[in-house]
Amino acid sequence: MIKLEHVSKSYSAGIPALNDVSLEIEDGEFVFIVGDSGSGKSTMIKLLLKELEPSAGTITINGKNLGRIRRRQIPKFRRNIGVVFQDFRLLKDRNVYENIAFAQKVIGEPTRNIKKKVPSFLSMVGLAAKYRSYPKELSGGEQQRVAIARALINEPSILLADEPTGNLDNNNAWEIMKLLEEVNNRGTTVIVVTHNMEIVKVMKKRVITVQKGVIVGDSKAGDTAYEN
């Protein structure tokens, strides 16, 4: 479970990026976070990753109070959270296989295990035949699939996707969202930050709307109130 209790975050004097935010996301949920630029969405993601510390309030993820996690424990904590970005962030000098394997090498996974897992995750994202290709040889949608496989290879309980379709055309955007839904169906909690309201409306998941650092809407899956 992800739980924010009266969380605020201010970068400097003035209007806080987040202001007294409280919410709960259950294990296995699929949640969209929407709002205008500057509304606080990115701040929320950085707080969940413990890239930022809240100015006030408590954040608990999988039973752990993030305020009590020591600096040296942060890398281990982050293994439970996969992250997918709008700009893919692939290593350009490494092929598809090596990009995904890199996430395993970072945590010291034995080579024999990597050789078993990487092909499995490549198959899951539909890129088994392109394991030797380099990022520049792939379409935007394919690059995002590699990024998703890399984010999932360490089997995190939570996947954060920050504008995952922002650089993709409509067809590729839908393919990525179908893949994220499949990931969710396998039990992973999926949180998607997006501006793409067409996707949000069609997928009918829970939608948390943020404006000026405050949650102004929280509609459950299938509720269309946010469409107004």
Q: Where are the beta strands (DSSP E) in 86-205?
A: 158-162, 189-193
- From the list 72, 15, 82, the residue with the least C-alpha distance to 48 is 82
Q: Determine the pLDDT at residue 226.
A: 46
CA–CA gap between residue 7 and residue 174 (Å, rounded): 33
The neighbouring-strand residues paired with 193 are 33, 162
Residue 13, pLDDT > 80, answer no
In contact, 198 and 178? CB cutoff 8 Å: no
Percent of the chain surpassing pLDDT 70: 96
- Residues 113-150 pLDDT 10s: 999 999 999 999 999 999 999 999 999 999 999 999 99
- Residues 171-199 pLDDT 10s: 999 999 999 999 999 999 999 999 899 99
Domain boundary assignment for the chain: 91-155
- Residue 41: both structure tokens together: 């969405």
**Residue 225's pLDDT band (cuts 50, 70, 90):** very low
- From the list 20, 25, 3, 7, the residue with the least C-alpha distance to 206 is 25
Q: Determine the pLDDT at residue 15.
A: 77
Q: Determine the pLDDT at residue 223.
A: 65
Q: Determine the pLDDT at residue 228.
A: 40
Q: Determine the pLDDT at residue 220.
A: 80
Q: Determine the pLDDT at residue 132.
A: 96
In contact, 21 and 4? CB cutoff 8 Å: yes
- Residues 36-57 pLDDT 10s: 988 999 899 999 999 999 999 9
For tokens 């990024």, the residue is 147
**Residue 221's pLDDT band (cuts 50, 70, 90):** low
pTM of the model: 0.90
- Residues 92-105 pLDDT 10s: 999 999 999 999 99
Q: Determine the pLDDT at residue 38.
A: 85
- From the list 58, 67, 62, the residue with the least C-alpha distance to 28 is 62
Q: Determine the pLDDT at residue 65.
A: 96
Question: First CA to last CA across the chain, in angstroms?
Answer: 29
62: which DSSP letter? T
- Residues 149-160 pLDDT 10s: 999 999 999 999
